[in-house]
Structure 1
Amino acid sequence: MKKYIILYITILSTFSYNSYSQTNKVTSADKKYDNYAYIDAIKTYERIAEKGYKSAAMFQKLGNAYYFNAKLESAAKWYTELFTLTSEVDSEYYYRYSQSLRAIGENSKADLMMEKFNQLSGNDDRSKLFQKNKNYLDEIKANSGRYEIQDAGVNSKYSDYGAAIYLNKIVFASSRDTGSLTQRKHTWTNQYFTNLYIADLDESKTPGNPDKFDEKINSKYNESTPTFTKDGKTMYFTRNNYNGGKKGKDANNVTLIKIYKASLENGKWENITELPFNNDNYSTAHPSLSSDENTLYFASDMPGTLGQSDIFKVKINVDGSFGTPENLGSKINTAGRETFPFVNDENEIYFASDGHPGLGGLDVFMSKINLDGTLNEIRNLGGDINSPKDDFAYLIDTKSRRGFFTSNRDGGQGYDDIYKFLETKKLSCEQELYGEITDLVSKQILPNTKVTLYDNKFNLVNTTVSDAKGIYSFTVECGKTYILRFQKTDYTSKEEKVTIVSENGKTNLPITLEKEECKVTNGDDLGRCFGIKMIYFDLDKSNIRSEAALDLEKILDVLKSYPTMKLDIRSHTDSRASHKYNESLSDRRAKSTISWFVKNGVNPKRLTGKGYGETQLINKCADDIECTEEEHQLNRRSEFIIIAL
């Protein structure tokens, strides 16, 4: 393997992203418009909780409402109520409770909650080095058999490597130019210095006959591994520390390698300049542009490198200047060598490493880059791309699933050879996670709802907004657990956890959002503000159960907040008993509900009620009609119809 050009780098930083702050527009509870009352559901829940009613779901909602708005003192109050009631909650609530406790100075208790969080979340510590899988050979075997591989058709008996795609052409490095008798070989490899070559690609990504690339790019020293902007007007490439006829050397009198930039003008590559973070005393090499062309990934042994060589990234500013290079961290970089990064338009980063478990030499690995810069688990591409020798410089076109990589494996034509491939099965099992977002009460679709996708440790994975039909969609990995957060102005934010099955396909997760303030007028069902579909009674009885009382407390709070409001309480059954029995039972239940309100201080003149039995079915499920349990459930309902405001 060419020591002079191949930097081996390990990297990947473990980023901890725990940002849960969000903005919820809260309107005053007493705000009124003509003939409308605005019911603040959160305030109602809080008043109910203050009266002693206990519900884990209610305490979670209250704690989250304050936590998401960075009101940690209030969040601590309601999370304390939650943990007093139950410890059977998702591990993330231990984390939130810990953060909230620290805000009120209860650090010892916060530490205990964090210890519990670590236990429940698998003792995951994002600052620790990635723990290598003892059964890595089983993983490599499972990831194999996914490629059809052929010689690329451009190889020589010399070294050919490091392909890039440029305007439906392939550009690669080769030492085939032996030139004149004075053409020199590199003393480390006994290979001639490399230049860049270019060849046309057909529809199957098969190269034609190669020609030398631009004469101003090729020098008498090494050039390799270019990357190009989509418009084809800018390129970054690797070259020995040589420009303008001048050769640079480090403190040991060695000429290292650097990344250069060039621009296309009138069909010629001009303005060849080295990048500002280059240095005579360390190497930078193998640039790769992100899909949005705002970030350049590269390999280097610059100060701060974790191993022999690491992968870095650097921001490209709007004015063309560069930020400060960042090491990708210990999730990718190891004490060994990581090099040849390639980032595709699906935010997957491929790189070569001898530090991660592999088959020998350099193996190619892949990780998914999340929106916040964190990376998913590192995966070996398997025994097709990888071999006991060096395998590197992988690139793939995500549309055709065709690409190229380089290897010095047995059976090649030269020192290094370029191979073309067709990926017949993706490395990751994927699912489409999608759903429709609607209003809880009106069932209207909710377009432009912000949806944020996190992994099970709340690292940001992706974000989107629902389309005109209220549909959101993400591509997710099989077998993994995700948390989704749904946010829309005037609605209470909501989180849902979902575990994806371990097979390719689709997962449908519809979502209903509850308005922060429910707008009602005469003739509306007040129960819809709180998602009350039915007041539950024991079988064939009409006494108020404890869970029914919790829902009735919500209605009671509104009645006390709006003393002129009057309600007609209506109870309905399904058709699965006699008309007479259903009417009698529903009437007793309506009257029992009214009695409960009166006992709790509501003037009986404000309440009317009646049981309608099965006389007002809302679907086809009448006598002798076969229906599902879900269809019958729609008819078993309680209504709180506003008859006066």
Structure 2
Amino acid sequence: MKLKYIVICTTLLTIVGNAQEKQIKKGNALFDNFIYQEAIASYEELIAKGYSNEDVYKNLGNANYFNANYEAAAGWFEKLVSLDNTTLDAEYFYKYAQSLKSLKKYKESDDWMRKFETAKSQDNRGRIFGKSEDYLSKIKENSGRYTIKSSSINSTASDFAPSFNGSQLVFSTARDSGITSKNIHQWTGKAFLNLYEATINNHENLTELTPLSKKLNKKTHESSTVFTKDGKTMYFTRNNSENGAFSRDEQGVSRLKIYKASLINNTWDNIIELPFNSDSYSVAHPTLSPDESKLYFASDMPGTLGASDIFMVNINDDGTYSTPINLGPKVNTEARETFPFISSSNKLYFASDGHPGLGGLDIFALDLNNLDNGVVLNVGAPVNSEEDDFTFIINESTRKGYFASNRKDGLGSDDIYSFVENTPLNFSCITILRGIVKDEKTSEFLPDTRLTVINAEGETVIQGVSDSNGNFTLEGDCTKGDYTIVAAKTDYNETTFNFTNSGESELNNLNISLKSSLDEAETGDDLAKKLNLEKIYFDFDKANIRRDAQAVLEKVVTYLKQYPNTNIQIGSHTDARGNDNYNLALSNRRAKATLQYLITQGIDENRLSAQGFGETNLTNNCDNTTKCSEEEHQLNRRSVFLVIK
């Protein structure tokens, strides 16, 4: 019986093992062929049966990440990074950090970004993060400028990629695309995309929703349109196709291409591929410059820095196109930069998950009139959220526009939102200077240091003051050139610090050291005379430190910090009025009050001693026999500082 039981168990384990192997192969095959929704279901079935390993966690995380299911992706990436004895590509740190933002876990996300930055120090995403770890505060500064609302054209399917065509709004949607498997995209498990248009009426409402012609809408994805101002030419995105049907390459990928169509007798016709398309990479999401001489788009063609970059081609007078030009690392990162839009004033808006944002794809902007020195700006909430936000367009005359998002309160998987821009984004090119001012000898932080930035022509371009910890943050224009910071502080020699701005948006770690202008006192010197201090006065019959006295004592504090080996004795005095013994006790209280104040300002109490002298050392003739004014008596209520070491 025992032997039989063992044989049965072994057989069952073999059957279970074989079943798991088949399930794994099935899931991997689905994943490798970009059939992500079915791959997720297959892997999750394995997990439910108690099976898991590193590759399953990777593929589940990636499949959800690529489908913008960031919350689910975060869960699988968390399991992945928690595995023992595994060496992960740092790209998973990045994806985990991005996914955590969908849960608004920004602190944890930043922690993983620091790990990513350490592991891939040359990655542009890490460098951008390292220079702007305060990105949330910057995003907050740009937030609240838009009023948004969900569009009336949204469906329970995916709706996105709005574009203007005169009084029409053209967009891409997966609605009403059929129910047969041929019309279902296996990556997302949703229907193929078609192009629709709606009329923008006088009240900015969208009406008369209709699909574009069947010459444009095939059994493929169509999306991302742009129209010339005369409405006679359009560019749009479509999947690779064969005889009008969806097709894949040898790797199982259906690439994206940009097509051009002409309006002939009110019909879109003469549909042609652009010459820089390819069957081996994608070219998508066209937009035109204000003068229509340039076409911008997203691609993963050779020369791309990341998953997709923004490129540009010149449209020649004869209708031909130049070689595509990558917009470079100012715009593009090793992640996704996509869905560009150029406004009438030549501002580039684009979606990215490579620049610091709130989560998923965020919308960013850059002034192309100042591409070299400009700053990439996150447009802020409520346009941006912790989910994917993309396909932003704006009419700068009306300050109104549209964008798409898959945020949780939407009607479908992607929804179109209209907005009003109440406050324009500030595109002024700035460079932020950050640094610290210290004492050259003691390395003490120096607050209230006056800082003046002067350009090569001798013009003052920025002014500021260091804070209580010696730190400074100065904002000025980003004009390239050589600059000088002039640092000035009372009791210190004026110092200059030279630097070069090559057009960076931020310059950090500018460390400035100041040298004291005060000579070191000798034993027996009175600091009051040495530093040319006003006397420390007290109110009648009081021992508290007055506000005017605090200003004088700050100079004593500064001196003692500059010369940490100097010890002093605080001597306090009273006027002659009152009992001698009482005055002696009062002066002792005043001396101790002065000592305690210096201690609160960071001076070691072992360097200080205090003694009251009562009325024994008057500075004038105002004794008990002489009638004096209040002002004359006050001259005797004082503290002095004698150097004893």
TM-score in terms of structure 2 length: 0.47
Comparing both structures, which one devotes a greater share of its residues to helix?
2
Decide which structure has the larger Cα Rg and report it.
Answer: 2
Which structure's relative contact order is higher, taking Cα pairs within 8 Å and 6+ residues apart?
1
TM-score in terms of structure 1 length: 0.47
